[in-house]
Amino acid sequence: MNVWMLFIIAVAAAAGIIIKYIWDIPTEDTFPHKILYRCVYLYGVISYTAARLMGYVNGRCLASNYYTFLMSFAPNPRESPAGSDVAIDATEFDGVKVRQYRNRRFMDQGLRPAFVFIHGGGYVVGSPALYDGVLTKICRVLGFYVAAIHYPLAPEGKFPKAFDECLKACSWFLRNASEFSVDQDRVVISGDSAGGQIAASVVQALCKSPSIPKPKAQVLMYPCLQFLDLRTPSYQRTRWLHGEQPGILNHITLSIFLSFYLFGREDSRFIKAVSANTHVSDEVRRSEQLKRLDHDLIPKEFKGPTYRPPNININNNKMNTEDHQGNALWSECKDLLLDYRLSPLMGDLEGLPNTYVITCGVDILRDDGVLYCQHLEKAGVKVTHKHYVESFHGIIAFPRTIIPSSTVMRKDLFTFLRQEV
């Protein structure tokens, strides 16, 4: 047997192992895009594992290596092709770097609406250029001026630096919108995932300031809106499916990213407590303050057979009584975790603008969006909630041709922007 034959056998064996691994990744029985979801999950496992291994070699932290690994596979930021309707370039809003998209057809046709976007990535990864597809289309099809904010990532950009920079940029832009041929009364603040959290917090801050024009609307795409309860039905379902394996966004990866964002480091005690949902004191869990997170507010259709009430914990696919050990840690972290700049679900919701919320069927953050919509409506805010059962976290950045629900999601968003802005 020659060397080439051995090589072919080895490659075939490796491919077989990978295919078997992908095939064995659990998914929702009714989810139609199982192969795509499994590939995304595998990519998440590889990214996390690679970042860990890189740390042993270069001595850098997980967040830095995670950024390096993921962004090495990201497409290079594209420039505006000759003859394109959309001009893409860089600018600054009060010293904050911004990637802007301008429709050449509308530059001399009066004031236009604007779409300001804050990207996701768990506070540790991501960039505006990753969203060129959807942002360019908002500019080209709808004629919006689009601006995507570069904000400092963790671990260097510790809380509340990302919030502060985004608030600074949005405040300046609302005051100076006319310089960009934008109507200051038709500005949308938007974000996805962690960027959705920052966007929601920024909008709350803007609405508290009498000297700044208010945004016309906010668009929150599968946002994380609180870090006080990691046992909502959507968290439970993901844990039941995948256990403790970091792949897609789950309670483990979220806890790690949050640790880097809050402390600039991987705090093992904090990560262990948050991922086990034991970081909040017993007294606070029973308080009026956390009634906004009451699971009874979540519709029954979102509570499948794997759901258990809050006093029950899912651990390694087994049901156990939850053991709260969070009193000491809570005293250290409560001011951070209850701060509206981190947990907008706990903020003042009255007087907020028209709100459009996107949630996905396969996503630990689904219930954050569901609860936010309910409390916004109670506060008298106009809310549109679009739930996509056949979608998963992060899908807005995917090419729309990969998964049909991404196309539907974009069409619905464009309809909202046309009609409401």
Q: Where are the beta strands (DSSP E) in 205-353?
A: 217-221, 312-315, 318-321
119 is catalytic: no
In three-state secondary structure terms, 33 is coil
The average pLDDT across 253-272 equals 95
For residue 131, pLDDT over 70 is answered with yes
For residue 361, pLDDT over 60 is answered with yes
| Amino acid 328: pLDDT | 81
For residue 267, pLDDT over 50 is answered with yes
Left, alpha or beta for 113 (phi > 0: left; psi -120 to 50: alpha)?
Answer: beta
For residue 11, pLDDT over 70 is answered with no
* Strand pairing category for 112-118 and 182-192: parallel
The average pLDDT across 273-292 equals 88
| Amino acid 84: pLDDT | 80
Catalytic residue among 193, 201, 234, 259: 193
Q: Which of 285, 308, 283 is nearest to 232 (CA)?
A: 308
Catalytic residue among 132, 192, 229, 363: 363
User: Per the confidence metrics, is the pTM higher than 0.75?
Assistant: yes
Phi/psi at 94 (5° precision): 55, 45
For 143-177, what is each residue's pLDDT tens digit? Answer: 999 999 999 999 999 999 999 999 999 999 999 99
Per-residue confidence at 3, pLDDT binned at 50, 70, 90?
A: low
For 27-85, what is each residue's pLDDT tens digit? Answer: 666 666 677 777 778 888 888 888 998 999 899 999 999 898 888 877 777 776 666 88
For residue 93, pLDDT over 60 is answered with yes
DSSP string, 378-389: HTT--EEEEEEE
279 is catalytic: no
| Amino acid 9: pLDDT | 47
How far is residue 198's CA from residue 225's CA, in Å, rounded to a whole number? 9
- The pLDDT > 90 percentage for the chain reads 62
Which of 30-39, 111-120, 404-413 is least confident? 30-39
Q: Which residue has the tokens 């509570």?
A: 303
Strand partners, 190: 117, 219
Contact (CB, 8 A) for 274 and 324 = no
Please tell me which of 252-256, 278-282, 405-409 the model is most confident about, judged by mean pLDDT. 252-256
Q: How far does Cα 388 stand from its chain's mean position? A: 15
| Amino acid 165: pLDDT | 98
**Element holding 401 (H helix, E strand):** none
**Helices and strands per DSSP (H, E), number in the chain:** 13, 10
Contact (CB, 8 A) for 69 and 47 = yes
In three-state secondary structure terms, 127 is coil
* Assigned token pair, 16: 């077989």
* Assigned token pair, 340: 């509206």
How far is residue 163's CA from residue 202's CA, in Å, rounded to a whole number? 7
Per-residue confidence at 419, pLDDT binned at 50, 70, 90?
A: very high
Rounded alpha-carbon distances, angstroms, from residue 39 to 72, 155, 317: 18, 28, 22
Catalytic residue among 119, 279, 375, 393: 393
* Assigned token pair, 81: 């092709």
Rounded alpha-carbon distances, angstroms, from residue 239 to 234, 314, 323, 400, 416: 9, 7, 17, 28, 33
| Amino acid 105: pLDDT | 86
Dihedral sign computed on CA atoms, order 213, 216, 222, 228: positive
DSSP string, 66-88: HHHHHHHTSPPPPPPPTT-SEEE
Q: 404-420 and 132-142 are packed helices; what angle lies between their axes, rounded to 10 degrees?
A: 40
Contact (CB, 8 A) for 229 and 199 = no
Q: Which residue has the tokens 């689009």?
A: 146
Give every CB contact of residue 374 below 8 A, 6+ residues apart in sequence: 297
Phi/psi at 326 (5° precision): -95, 0
Give every CB contact of residue 64 below 8 A, 6+ residues apart in sequence: 155
| Amino acid 398: pLDDT | 76
The average pLDDT across 245-261 equals 89
